[in-house]
Structure 1
Amino acid sequence: MSEEDQTVFHVIFAIVACVLQVAVATAGIFGHVIILFVTYRTKEIQNKYGLLLVQLSITHIICIFGELMNTAFIVAAPVLPKTECFKIFAALLVVMIWQSLIMLSISIDLLCAIVFPIHYRKWTARASVCVNVVVCGFISVAYTMTIYGHTDTTGSGICNVYTAQNHSVFTHTEALAYTIAVLQNACYRNQHRKTMRTISMLIVIYMCTWVLSILTTDAIHFVADVEWRFIMWMVASVLQMLCFAQTFYVCYQRSSEYRNIFRRLFKLLKLPKDVKIHLQQVCSPEKTHIRSISFVMT
């Protein structure tokens, strides 16, 4: 392949990747907004998993916007001092680590529900969620500051979120935790099995996209060619965008309760004159007939 052909290929690849990023970002933001609205209006799903999904949606919305900014930096490829590059992406780094810890806590919570079902029922939802917010937030900030402490203050290079940090520390921890949770859930054969299917699938899909993106960024360190590094950065960015956007669609496919609420909500788009009336119908417990949040595969 000639140099001119390579240039054309990279331009086309960049355009396709950017268009895909925007499409996935739009779908992801739409889905997360729906989750936030439905959870806010429906008390029956304001339980532990529902509130954890709210945290996840908030962090993923921030990550989606940050990933779009990161894509712009990958395409522009500005050369900046390492410290300045870190400061640009510091907030995004905190939130990215935060959302990974939330997923880790969800997988641990799922594992506890499977292994210790009696003790698990005694844990209150709000206390668990509050502790999760404080602990995950503190660890995220502390870990980001640790990254900054090891940043080369004299060096410079191409600036994007992957050159400003390293997720390799979390790779094995996350993969191990998610794998244990999924395997335990697959072997579980009592009444809790159906209620865990949606969360299990959420963890599996997250693990596939997030860990693959981490492994891709780790592999970049062994690639010297700038053009191939660009391609791998874009691939990792697309994988992470898919990771950040998938929560709503997993809930829609795997949970009949969420699916029924979402379908009622979508009717509002067709009946703008009766928005207020249908808003009450969508989110009213009497209309939805939801006893509790039960993730059931239908």
Structure 2
Amino acid sequence: MRSRCHVLIATRAFADIIVCVYLIQVRAQILVGNTFMTRRQCVLQVAYGLVFENLQCSIGLALGVDRLLAIVTPVQYMKWPARQYLLLLLVPCCIFSLLLASFALWESSGESRVAICFTPSAYIDRAKSAWYGSNIAIILLQFAVHLYASVALGKTTGPSSIQMRKILLSLETVMVMYSICWALPIFASLLLQMITVSADAASIIWVMLGWPVILNSSCNFFIYATRSSEFRHAFLRLFSGKNTKTTPTDRITIPKAAELPKIA
């Protein structure tokens, strides 16, 4: 938690944990046969999962924006007050997550029934359109932001650009997994709305689409642990109970203005 980027990563990690809990609940309901409930019952049971799933998605965009600002405007980025900056990024993400989940509850009907209480089943009518539209927009914006950040970073020079490249490469690895594990189920579920399949086939497909979502929520830890020595050392200190001093390998230094990367 020694930088603004780390606060955003920690927030995303917390959302990942809650989403994993939500998906475990859905799987447990399937195993015990607790299916075919009303849509309103479904939304009420998994409302927390819907909120944090939306937060998980929007925080990914906030992380991309944060890295882009750090690369394109490094001097101004270091001058912005950390608290106000984080609030400016996190508050819209939280509002978006709560509003979309609340809209799902508003649109839910006590009469229609769903076979499996999974994310797409919790949304209906206008709420489903809002969910699809917002997620597709966020996915495309994330790709655009990370692509622009990569291009801008390729033009930078300076000692601190090496550290930025490491962080951005880790985030790009997360983006690849995100595109496979989250974007794919989103577009697949959208395709299912356009074609006609049997109820049994649809149920099997919805269950299979849940596995990439679970992978998306659980793989980031291993990505950061593999790519960042700072993450590994902090994790070991946290769970070993030892109050070890920070070593040069995991210390985050704030460069001086003259050392900040410059765009050629």
TM category, shorter: 0.7 to 0.9
Match of 1:176 in 2: 140
Would the alpha carbon gap of residues 293 and 105 (structure 1) be closer, same or farther in structure 2, given more than 3 Å must change? farther
Taking a change above 3 Å as real, the CA distance of residues 124 and 201 of structure 1, as seen in their structure-2 partners, is farther
The equivalent position to 1:121 in structure 2, one of 75, 78, 81, is: 78
Residues 45-88 of structure 1: CA distance to partner in whole angstroms, max 9, x if unpaired?
A: 52111111111111111110100111233453611222122111
TM-score (norm 1): 0.71
Letter of the aligned partner of 2:54 in structure 1? Answer: I
* Cα pair 1:85 1:160 within 8 Å, conserved: yes
Equivalent positions of 1:123-272 (< 5 A) are 123-161=80-118, 162-165=120-123, 166=128, 167-187=131-151, 188-189=153-154, 190=156, 191=161, 192-221=164-193, 222-262=195-235, 264-265=236-237
89-98 vs 107-116, which deviates more? Answer: 107-116
Cα distance, 1:242 vs. partner? 0.5
Q: CA deviation at 1:207?
A: 2.8
Aligned length: 237
Q: CA deviation at 1:236?
A: 1.5
Q: Say what the alpha-carbon RMSD is for the aligned residues.
A: 2.5
Q: Is the 8 A contact 2:229 2:250 kept in 1?
A: no
| Residues 217 and 199 of structure 1, relative CA distance in 2, 3 Å threshold | same
CA–CA distance in structure 2, aligned partners of residues 93 and 118 of structure 1: 37
Q: In the TM superposition, what is the alpha-carbon distance from 1:96 to its structure 2 partner?
A: 0.8
CA distance in 2, matches of 1:197, 1:63: 25
Letter aligned with residue 219 of structure 2: Q
SS in 2 for 1:196: helix
Partner of 1:49: 5
Matched letter for residue 50 of structure 2: L
Shift of 1:119: 2.4
Deviation at residue 223 of structure 1 after TM alignment: 4.1
Give the unaligned 5+ runs of structure 2: 255-264
Identity %: 20
Which residue is equivalent to 1:60? 16
- Partners of 1:168 and 1:220 lie apart in 2 by 12
Question: 1:199 & 1:124 partners in 2: Cα distance?
Answer: 23
**Residues 112-134 of structure 1: CA deviation (Å, up to 9, x unaligned):** 22333332222233333334333
The alignment's TM-score, normalised by the length of structure 2, stands at 0.79
Residues 215-235 of structure 1 show CA distances to partners (whole Å, capped at 9, x for unaligned) of 222233234312221221122
| AA partner of residue 228 (structure 1) | A
> What is the rounded CA distance, in whole Å, between the counterparts of 1:195 and 1:288 in structure 2?
17
Aligned pairs (5 A) from 1:18-57 = 45-57=1-13
Spell out, residue by residue over 1:101-155, the C-alpha distance to the aligned partner (whole angstroms, 9 max, x if none): 1111111222222333332222233333334333222221112112222223432
